[in-house]
Structure formats: C-alpha cells, structure tokens
Structure 1
Amino acid sequence: MAWRCTGSTNTELLLNMRKSEIIKSDRVFAAMTKVDRSKYVRNPSAAYQDSPQLIGHGATISAPHMHAYAAEHLLPYLHSNARVLDVGSGSGYLCAVLWQLLADDGHAGSEFTAKVVAIDHIDELVSWSVDNLRRDGLGREVDQGHIRVIAGDGRKGVPEDGPYDAIHVGAAAPTVPDALIEQLAAPGRMFIPVGTEKQQIMQIDKDAEGRVTEKAVLDVGYVPLTDREKQIASMRY
C-alpha cells in the first residue's frame, strides 16, 4: 500500500498516506503539509511520487512514506526542548519536517530550545539543503541556530550538540553505530535502517536508566551509510 500513495499535489500525497494509515497523527500530517517536497528534489515534476529519487552525488531522497514512518515513530520524543539529529540529511526535507514537529509544540515561548542538527558528508548536498530550507521559509531558523546543517561523517554523530532525544538515520548501516547510541538521550529513540543485503528499520530505545532495547519495524532497501570517498566513487545522477 505504501507505494500506491502517489499524488498530483503535496496535499493529495499526504491524504493518500493518511488513507493508507501510514500517517496516523494530526501532528505529522500538519507538519508534512507545511513542507512542500517539490522544494527538496531535483525534478519538481516528480516531487509527489511515492518513491525515492536521485538527488546527485550517489544520494537519494527517501520515498515520502518512509519519511512519514520516521516521523510517526519518533513523534513521542519531539517536543519544544528536544534535540534531534538527522544523519544523511541529503536534501534537507526530513530536517524541515522534524523542525515543524518541534515548532508546533510552542515556538514562541522563552523555554523553546528545540534544535535539529542535520549532517551529511557531501558538502554540495549540505549547501543545497541549506538553500532548500531558506527557500522553504526556514532561513531564520537556520540563522538562529535552531536548524544546524553541517558536513561530516554522520556515523560519528555530532556529540557537541547532543544528547539527542530523537535520531533519524537516512541510509543503511551494517550495524548500529556505537557513537549514535552513546549520543542518544535517556530517554530517547533512534530510527535507523540496518543491514547490507537484507535491511530492516530498527527502532532503538534508550530508557531513563540508560537501558537500550531494539525492535525491528519493517523490511526496507536503503542506500548504504558509508564514507564520502565510497559514495563519490559510486556517484549516480
């Protein structure tokens, strides 16, 4: 059902995902309504297809239904003082959705300390994603540091901004990186594809006492979470 959610507009795409019960919560629906996927793809005419798309440099933007699944699973940990890490942030699309989910919990108050940290090891994608975010009306959030987009090895996380209430990983790791588990807050949750030939989305939960549990969510097929050199060597446009 997930692959049948293609629409002719952003709203139709989201309504189809809601009918398919991929989007279940009003918060996720509202947040994704505020982020037009056409601003985050190379081919805007195909923006509302429910499929992954190449964005250059050997990277893809995940299918919309996978971003919806990620948002739904991380939702309990997305609040107005949460810190969120998006590894393999690509075009910046999910970074924007995650920000909207944080912002709807009280953007105006003095206690609003939410932050999304996005990391990708391709400098060109980092620059492009910042342009995308600005074009989508999030320039102030970038300038104020509420959204931070950096180039680096996401497998190592970004420890200086952690710990993170929620971590999303947008490429498949052979195993869950220890650094990301260490940077997960207690309590906190990670949504990560794991595996090589056979991949599964794993939900990694850390409780208030620091105990870590893992739960397989669904079978998937993601590009590998690798280093910059290997990704560049396999570049596809």
Structure 2
Amino acid sequence: MLPLRILYQDEHLVAVHKPSGLLVHRSALARGETQFLLQQLRDQIGKRVYPVHRLDRPTSGVIVFALSSTVAGLLSEAFSERQVEKRYLAVVRGKAPDEARLDYPLREEDGLRPKAEMPAMPAMTDIRRLDSVELPVQVDRYPVARYSLVEARPLTGRRHQIRRHLSRRGYPIIGDAKHGKSVHNRFFADQLNAPRLLLAATHLAFDHPVLAKRVALTCALDDTMTALFHHLGWAGHLPLDSVRTPPLTAPSALQML
C-alpha cells in the first residue's frame, strides 16, 4: 500500500489526500472492510488522529484530521457552523450552466432508517462550469455526448449533497452509481479509463483553531482524473498541491478559552 500524501502537518492537525475508494473510518456500513484512512494515517505518522469531517468513500481529495480531542472539537464546530470554505471539481453529464445556486432540500440519509422517516433539510450548493466538451460518439440516445467540468462549493453539509444536487438539476456526476446514469459511467470506465466517481475535494480553507493563521489547502487530482483532464483538453484546470497560511488579525478559538 502506498503511503498517504500529506498536504500539511503541524503539532495540532494534519491534512492528507484521501484516495478514491478508501473509507475514512470504521462504521456500521463498513462490514468486511479492512482498510481505513484513519488507521492508515495513524500508523504512517505514529500519532492518534481524530476525524472532524467526512468525504464519501468514492470521493478523493483533501481531508483534515485533528491531533487532539480539543482541536477536533473546535474544528468540528467550524465545519458545522459553515466557517470552512470547500471547493470540489466534478465531471458531469451535459453542458452545465455557467453559474447556478442549487438549493433543493435533502433528506439526511444515514442508511439505517427509512427515507420517509427522515425530514428534508435545507441544502445549498453553488456551481460554476469551468469547461465543457462534446465527443463525437453516441453514448445515450443522442449522436454526440456532452460533458462539463464543474466547480462546486457546498454551503451546507448534507450527506452526498453535491452528488444529489447535481443529479437533481440534470447533470449527474460521472461514475456515480447511485445518482448517475450507468451508460455514461460505463463509457468513461471502458473507453476513457476512468472507472471511479469523478468528484474530488480540491480546496479547503479555515481559521486554524490554535495558531493565529488561516490555512488554505489545495490538493492535486489523482492519476485517473489527471489523465482524463489531459485527454479531454482540460489540463489548464488541473490544481496543484499548495499550502497558504496567512496570519489572522483576530485571536484563535483556543486562545480565547
């Protein structure tokens, strides 16, 4: 197993690139699984790590862990209070709008209770089309196939929010077995060597809960998505690993305790 790509680390937190297909931690829905990001990272850095947010199993990209329970509580609060800036890249079917705000309420699916028992909660995602392509192949009922590269900024944190919002709007993410369309998923898997959900968390920015600085992390795509972007002519949109830590003028949360 390859070591995880560490994007940032200090004495309070660590951020890594989560590979597509790897579960973040053990859960009731992970029966039979033996590989988890949390345990792999703990073994790699030799320290206990605490999850503060989640990424779906098929989603890749930047994820942050705390190195103490106190910092975990502060970071978790920042995520729940929408104080964290998140950006994703997604490849979707069709020509997406230049910009749009998707605000369809979503049920908080947890996989344990019937959907009818779960109330719909407010949810909001801003999307922006960065590029598009028209391929001269008949994948569905049309003689050509159109796809778009979309930047998504979730403003709330519902389960599968970006996947469900884009599908509801008519632009399902390629590789989404639950909310997408199988014929397009198979085309990308068989013809474009992209057999995964084409959704990646590429940017995360938040005020450091202890140090007086803001942490802004950008995460490069994995080999599968990078090769696909080159093939589709989207190489100019490829993000690179980067870390910016400008100072804050206000004291951090822990400094005020």
Name the TM-score, length of structure 2 as normaliser: 0.28
The structure with the largest strand share of the pair is 2
Larger Rg: 2
The structure with the largest helix share of the pair is 1
